[in-house]
Amino acid sequence: MTTITQTINETNYTFPNQTGFYRGKVRDVYEIGDKHLVMVASDRISAFDHILPREIPNKGAVLNQVAGFFLNMCSDIVPSWLLETPDPNVALGIKCNPIRIEMVIRGYLSGHSWRVYNGGGREICGETMPDGLKENDAFPVPLITPATKADDGHDEDISALDIVKRNIVTQEVYDQLESYTKQLFKRGSDYAKENGLILVDTKYEFGYLNGEIVLMDEIHTPDSSRYFYLDSYNDLQSKGEKQRQLSKEFIREWLMENDFQGLDGQQMPKMDDEIVQRVSDRYMELFSKLTRKELIKRPAGDVYQQIETNVVNALAKLKA
């Protein structure tokens, strides 16, 4: 296989029986009839609710294939929307009615939770964070810190109590979501440790299919999760040094070092070839470590035409 240099930015297809289209920060989503979705994972990368100016080679293929790998691995815990991955960058699945919350779970004091903690906060989404912790310490037990799925792209922290109080879901449904979240996080954490990584935090998105709760979207990917290297964790933590990590937090830290957090008046820094390659290398390393597989790449040629052909062929099989 030849390594591709062409990245995927935006797609603009009209597939057979297409009834709708939605472009997210990273994925282009095509509605097929009233039952199916085609999700094309682009090479766009976002941080702080902004899409960055350059694509990351192979990023979309990594996201798509890691998500498919774990959705299949965890299907005994909760069914998922996914039917197949007909292309390295494409997932084909069943259209579900989304539950408008993200179930975020945190095993360690990192990222957003650390920023709250470092600012003096000891509560997040109704969960108490104990005193005496330093950045990247493990919580005594993982904390579930949900976020609302806002239409404007800005998600907000919300407590379990408020989720039920606002009638987003019933208490019974929330309890089931919490149970699934804990089971999925344990499965992902155990598997990560077997492969020399620590699953620090992640998020899960659920929906309804014929009245049943199913897992939607990506799972345990570097965009939705944070990973540390297991072999160096204790040593770096004891020295108070930064953890080595495989996640999108790397690009967030780079942006913050360049005075950008998505705030009004801040200017997006330029991304040179070196930073683009470093980010791409991290995605590729994470894929290799997590799946123990080689990334399915595509032959050289017109990437957009290859995607269209593979999707059309997959849709034709649905009718057969």
Question: According to the model, what pLDDT value does residue 276 have?
Answer: 92
Q: Is the pTM of this model over 0.85?
A: yes
**Residue 221 falls within a domain, yes or no?**
yes
For residue 265, the 8-state DSSP code is T
Domain range enclosing 76: 18-95+273-319
Tell me: do 66 and 125 sit in the same domain.
no
Tell me: do 102 and 91 sit in the same domain.
no
Tell me: do 236 and 128 sit in the same domain.
yes
Question: According to the model, what pLDDT value does residue 65 have?
Answer: 95
- Cα distances from 50 to residues 203, 262, 271, 316, in angstroms, run 19, 7, 14, 36
- Cα distances from 250 to residues 9, 141, 282, 311, in angstroms, run 21, 25, 9, 33
Question: According to the model, what pLDDT value does residue 247 have?
Answer: 77
Q: How far apart are CA 264 and CA 194, in angstroms?
A: 43
> What CATH number is associated with residue 314?
3.30.200.20
Question: According to the model, what pLDDT value does residue 250 have?
Answer: 80
Q: Are 117 and 133 in contact (CB under 8 A)?
A: yes
Question: According to the model, what pLDDT value does residue 252 have?
Answer: 86
Question: According to the model, what pLDDT value does residue 248 have?
Answer: 79
Tell me: do 168 and 69 sit in the same domain.
no
**Residue 10 falls within a domain, yes or no?**
no
**Residue 149 falls within a domain, yes or no?**
yes
**Residue 137 falls within a domain, yes or no?**
yes
* Number of structural domains in the chain: 2
Write the single-letter amino acid at 67. Answer: A
**Residue 135 falls within a domain, yes or no?**
yes
**Residue 257 falls within a domain, yes or no?**
no
**Residue 202 falls within a domain, yes or no?**
yes
Q: Is 173 exposed, middle or buried (0-12, 13-18, 19+ CB in 10 A)?
A: middle
pLDDT along the chain (320 residues), means of 10: 67 96 94 96 91 93 95 96 96 96 97 95 97 97 91 78 96 98 98 95 96 93 92 97 85 91 91 91 89 84 94 89
Tell me: do 117 and 213 sit in the same domain.
yes
| Packing angle, helices 59-73 and 171-194, rounded to 10 | 110
Tell me: do 207 and 284 sit in the same domain.
no
> What CATH number is associated with residue 198?
3.30.470.20
